[in-house]
Amino acid sequence: MTTLHVPPFPAPAARTPSPAYETGTGTPRDGADTSTSPGTGTPRDGALSVWPGSTTPLAHGDLAVGGVPLTEVAERFGTPAYLLDEGDVRARCRGYLHAFKDAEVLYAAKAFLCRAMAHWIDEEGLGLDVCSAGELELAVTTGFPAERIVLHGNAKSPDDLRAALRLGVGRIVIDSASEIARLAAAVPPGSRQKVMVRVVPGIAAGAHAKIRTGTDDQKFGLSLTDGSAQHAITRILGQPTLDLVGLHCHLGSQITAEKPFLCAVRRLVGLMARIKDQHGVTLPELDLGGGHGIAYRPGEDALDIASLAPKVRAELAESCAAAGLPVPRLIVEPGRAIAGPAGVALYRILAVKRTGERIFVAVDGGMSDNPRPALYGVRYAPRLVGRRSTTAPEPMTVVGRHCEAGDVLASDVPLPGDVRPGDLLAVPVAGAYHLSMASGYNLVGRPPVVAVADGHARLLVRRESLEDFRSRDVGL
């Protein structure tokens, strides 16, 4: 029997804590709202329960995030704009490291990535999970250590694989049988690339059919049920340039129940036991992916990672003991759960009109900066900020400026009956899958990203301009 001894991801360099947060605690200073524990999935009470942990009410109906009034951000940087609370991001990173003490935590870059985000993740001691050469190159050129990066994806291009091998990523997740020979041939002579296999365990989990990836009826991974995963593993073990170090799975997104993760542990450990029996190889790593659900509106469920983590560890230990295996190194990949609750989107109202029984509030953004309501039917909780209204709320539908009837940001949400053009609306939980999924539809430029921390705001990503569109259009 062969037990593979694979070194863990290299330890990160010592981090410099954010001045807005006490060292290592994730606790805001200066009397900020501490009724939430970022990263634990435990909501605060009240209307601000889904807002960044530093959010505080101000006079005249304004709110401050990271010590910066939202009206100030809107006036200084314009709208639409994304705001990201640096302290909240860092606190959620620390929450994961605290919950999963003996695991590797990788931030899923697809949720949101920019140079500053990569820097924060690196400083807080997380690795990175990327799915393209673009995400990889941006992170590495920022200074993120390539050996602490995992590349995955269901259809990696030759450029993706070349970049991963050239830069020296820590792991590549093999997603299809055709990828095995292609990757093996691309590895430089005398080298070995550490790889994992993405296994489809046959578990249905996730908030919407379009974001469930643990079953056999979707494009990701290799099936446990039909033997595809086992066949791929046999082929990989026969490739001298590939070093199989573990199994990977990702069940889906917005999962708020613990049971699917525990079931995945049992099924993957079962496959590990079969690999040991058939090939004499003990794999040292098991990656459970991410998909940890968050609340987008007050009262919604969220996955409590402080509760999940010990149950996963216990299930892993029990399953391995029953199978006669050593406990593999656990890896988790949160993305939305770190970036989502730390973000706020800001919009100006352009028009308010009543059509039949419905009131439509049109804003200066829409599906180009947030396609998720159109794609998945996601619901948000916009809030009027910048002035205090005493008018009773009415159900209104917040829509965007694009030429689509489906350009709806929030349906039937209560807003003061006197909302008018020029008012500022803020939408919480906008840190994940907003800019990363944004488009240039109608040639409306993508919004900027503004970081707030310790009472200061700074631009991370500038607004996309008409000149950006013109410069890419090179033909006549």
SS3 label, residue 322: helix
Bridge partners for 473 per DSSP: none
Comparing C-alpha atoms, which of 159, 116, 175, 125 is closest to residue 145? 125
How far apart are alpha carbons 247 and 287 in whole angstroms?
6
Tokens matching residue 374: 């159109």
Residue written as token pair 């009956």: 417
pLDDT at 414: 96
What does CATH list as the number for 87-339? 3.20.20.10
pLDDT at 10: 67
pLDDT at 20: 38
State the alpha helices, DSSP H only, in 78-167: 86-99, 115-123, 133-142, 158-167
Element (H, E) at 306: helix 305-323
Comparing C-alpha atoms, which of 54, 55, 44 is closest to residue 19? 54
- Is 86 annotated as contributing to ligand binding? no
- State the amino acid at position 152 in one-letter form: H
pLDDT at 2: 46
Q: In the 8-state DSSP scheme, what is residue 252?
A: B
Indicate the domain borders of the chain: 56-84+341-465, 87-339
pLDDT at 142: 95
Measured on CA atoms in the order 168, 279, 275, 177, is the torsion positive or negative? positive
Task: Calculate ∠ Cα 78-138-242, nearest 5°.
Answer: 150
pLDDT at 284: 98
Residues in the chain: 476
Judge contact between 435 and 112, C-beta under 8 A.
yes
pLDDT at 209: 52
> Any idea which residues carry the catalytic annotation?
403
Measure the CA dihedral 417/423/426/432, to 10°.
120
- Is 94 annotated as contributing to ligand binding? no
pLDDT tens, per residue, the chain with 476 residues: 444 445 566 655 544 444 333 333 333 333 333 344 444 444 444 889 999 999 999 999 999 999 999 999 999 999 999 999 999 999 999 999 999 998 999 999 999 999 999 999 999 999 999 999 999 999 999 999 999 999 999 889 999 999 999 999 999 999 999 999 999 999 998 899 999 999 998 785 555 454 444 455 666 789 888 889 999 999 999 999 999 999 999 988 889 999 999 999 999 999 999 999 999 999 999 999 999 999 999 999 999 999 999 999 999 999 999 999 999 999 999 999 999 999 999 999 999 999 988 999 999 999 999 999 988 888 999 999 999 999 999 999 999 999 998 999 999 999 999 999 999 999 999 999 999 999 999 999 999 999 999 999 999 999 999 999 999 999 88
pLDDT at 239: 96
Phi, psi of 209 (to 5 degrees): -55, -30
pLDDT at 137: 96
**Topology alike, domains 56-84+341-465 and 87-339:** no
pLDDT at 208: 46
Round the CA-based radius of gyration of the chain to a whole number and report it. Answer: 23
Measured on CA atoms in the order 234, 235, 240, 242, is the torsion positive or negative? negative
pLDDT at 328: 98
- Is 376 annotated as contributing to ligand binding? yes
- Is 335 annotated as contributing to ligand binding? yes
- CATH T-level fold of 56-84+341-465: Lyase, Ornithine Decarboxylase; Chain A, domain 1 (2.40.37)
How far apart are alpha carbons 252 and 261 in whole angstroms?
11
Tokens matching residue 77: 């940087």
pLDDT at 54: 97
Tokens matching residue 123: 């400083």
- Is 404 annotated as contributing to ligand binding? yes
Measured on CA atoms in the order 103, 174, 142, 134, is the torsion positive or negative? negative
Task: Calculate ∠ Cα 364-369-374, nearest 5°.
Answer: 100
- State the amino acid at position 421 in one-letter form: P
Question: What is the value of pTM for the model shown?
Answer: 0.89
